[in-house]
Structure 1
Amino acid sequence: MIPRKQVEDERSNGMIGKILGGLNSTLRKLLFHVISSRPIPEHIAFILDGNRRFAKKWKLTEGAGHKAGFFALMSVLKYCYEIGVKYVTIYAFSLDNFNRRPDEVQYVMDLMQEKIEGFMNELSLINKYGIRVLFIGDLDRLYEPVRIAAEKAMEATAKNSTTYLLVCVAYTSSHEIPRSIHESCQEKSGATAIRVINGNGHTNENHGGHAMIKVVDLEKHMYMGVAPDPDILVRSSGETRLSNFLLWQTTNCLLYAPKALWPEMGFWQVVWGILEFQNNYKYLEKKKKQA
Structure 2
Amino acid sequence: MLFRALSWLRAKATQRVERLLLYVLASGPIPQHVAFVMDGNRRYARLNHKAIAQGHSDGFLTLRRLLETCLRLHIRCVSVYAFAMDNFRRPPEEIDHLMHLAHDKLMEMSRHSDILEQYGVRLNVLGKTALLPEYVQEAIRHVEGVTRKNDRCALTAILNIHMSYSAQDEIATAVESTIQMALEDAESASDICITEKDIDAQLFTSLAASPPLEILVRTSGVKRLSDYMLWQCNENTQIHFVNAYWPDFSLWDFVPILLSYQRKAWGKQ
User: TM > 0.5 between the two?
Assistant: yes
Query: Structure 1 residues 14, 131: CA separation in 2 closer, same or farther (over 3 Å shift)?
Result: farther
- Any residues of structure 2 matched to 1:235-250 within 5 Å, and which? 235-250=218-233
Question: For 1:168-197, what per-residue CA distance to the aligned partner results, in whole angstroms no more than 9, with x for missing partners?
Answer: 01111110111111111111114322xxxx
Q: Give me the TM-score of the superposition, normalised by structure 2.
A: 0.88
* Rounded Cα–Cα distance in structure 2 between residues aligned with 1:101 and 1:241: 23
Query: Structure 1 residues 100, 28: CA separation in 2 closer, same or farther (over 3 Å shift)?
Result: closer
**Structure 1 residues 120-129 or 151-160, which shifts more?**
120-129
Structure 1 residue 100: Cα displacement:
3.8
Q: Which residue of 1 aligns with 2:180?
A: 186
Q: Is the 8 A contact 1:80 1:270 kept in 2?
A: no
* Rounded Cα–Cα distance in structure 2 between residues aligned with 1:85 and 1:66: 25
Q: Is the 8 A contact 1:79 1:270 kept in 2?
A: no
* Rounded Cα–Cα distance in structure 2 between residues aligned with 1:102 and 1:126: 31
Q: Which residue of 1 aligns with 2:60?
A: 70
Does 2:252 match 1:268?
yes
> 1:53 is matched by which residue type in structure 2?
R
Q: Which residue of 1 aligns with 2:40?
A: 50
Query: Structure 1 residues 16, 94: CA separation in 2 closer, same or farther (over 3 Å shift)?
Result: closer
Q: Is the 8 A contact 2:34 2:75 kept in 1?
A: yes
**Structure 1 residues 65-74 or 111-120, which shifts more?**
111-120
* Rounded Cα–Cα distance in structure 2 between residues aligned with 1:214 and 1:13: 62
Q: Give me the TM-score of the superposition, normalised by structure 1.
A: 0.82
> 1:211 is matched by which residue type in structure 2?
I
4+ runs deviating over 6 angstroms:
none
Residue 220 of structure 2 aligns to a residue in which SS?
helix
* Rounded Cα–Cα distance in structure 2 between residues aligned with 1:122 and 1:79: 19
Does 2:99 match 1:109?
yes
Which structure has the bigger radius of gyration?
1
The percentage of aligned residue pairs carrying the same residue is 30
**RMSD of equivalent CA atoms:** 2.3
* Rounded Cα–Cα distance in structure 2 between residues aligned with 1:83 and 1:52: 29
Does 2:121 match 1:138?
no
Q: Is the 8 A contact 1:76 1:266 kept in 2?
A: yes
> 1:245 is matched by which residue type in structure 2?
Y
Structure 1 residue 122: Cα displacement:
7.9
Residue 212 of structure 1 aligns to a residue in which SS?
coil
Stretches of structure 2 lacking an aligned partner (at least 5 in a row): none
Does 2:192 match 1:211?
yes
* Rounded Cα–Cα distance in structure 2 between residues aligned with 1:101 and 1:186: 38
* Rounded Cα–Cα distance in structure 1 between residues aligned with 2:112 and 2:70: 16
Structure 1 residue 33: Cα displacement:
2.4
Q: Is the 8 A contact 2:126 2:160 kept in 1?
A: yes
Q: Is the 8 A contact 1:174 1:244 kept in 2?
A: yes
Q: Which residue of 2 aligns with 1:171?
A: 165
Q: Which has the higher contact order (CA 8 A, sep 6+)?
A: 2
Structure 1 residue 163: Cα displacement:
1.6
Structure 1 residue 243: Cα displacement:
0.4
Question: For 1:198-218, what per-residue CA distance to the aligned partner results, in whole angstroms no more than 9, with x for missing partners?
Answer: xxxxxxxxxxx2121112211
Question: For 1:142-181, what per-residue CA distance to the aligned partner results, in whole angstroms no more than 9, with x for missing partners?
Answer: 1101111111111111111432111001111110111111
Residue 193 of structure 2 aligns to a residue in which SS?
strand
Structure 1 residue 117: Cα displacement:
2.6
**Structure 1 residues 59-68 or 115-124, which shifts more?**
115-124
Query: Structure 1 residues 158, 147: CA separation in 2 closer, same or farther (over 3 Å shift)?
Result: same
* Rounded Cα–Cα distance in structure 2 between residues aligned with 1:88 and 1:282: 22
Question: For 1:37-58, what per-residue CA distance to the aligned partner results, in whole angstroms no more than 9, with x for missing partners?
Answer: 3210111100010110011001
Residue 216 of structure 2 aligns to a residue in which SS?
strand
